[in-house]
Amino acid sequence: QVTLKESGPALVKLTQTLTLTCTCSGFSVSTSEMRVSWIRQAPGKALEWLARIDWDDDKFYSTSLKTRLTISKDTSKNQVVLTMTNLDPVDTATYYCARTRGYNYYFDYWGQGTLVTVSS
């Protein structure tokens, strides 16, 4: 059974750095063609893709946020980590991680999401 679960702080302060962890089970993040993305959704707004890391450690970032994002994986823990620097209240959102398998570039499994609030 494939599951993904996001974890991280619920509240962060203006200009701080956010670190979120996606713990994956039912598959290995290092298995060929496995990819994990981070996606966020501000309250009442649309979903927004942030970043992706592939099984071979290739990394891809949203054009608009790439200077603030770093994605990495810990294969020993089967986790994917996203860091976002210089937080602002507009970064308040539910952050999801989601899996992609293969080359169809769609998300077949999603985590439940974790709400992060940025306080000023």
- Interface positions with other proteins (CB under 8 A): 37, 39, 46-49, 52, 58, 60, 62-64, 96, 104-108, 110-113
Q: In angstroms, what is the minimal distance from the CB of 43 to other proteins?
A: 11
The residue among 46 and 120 lying less far from other proteins, judged by its C-beta, is 46
Contact 80, 22 (CB under 8 A): yes
Query: Comparing C-alpha atoms, which of 23, 110, 113 is closest to residue 73?
Result: 23
Q: In angstroms, what is the minimal distance from the CB of 15 to other proteins?
A: 26
Q: In angstroms, what is the minimal distance from the CB of 34 to other proteins?
A: 14
The residue among 16 and 42 lying less far from other proteins, judged by its C-beta, is 42
The residue among 21 and 110 lying less far from other proteins, judged by its C-beta, is 110
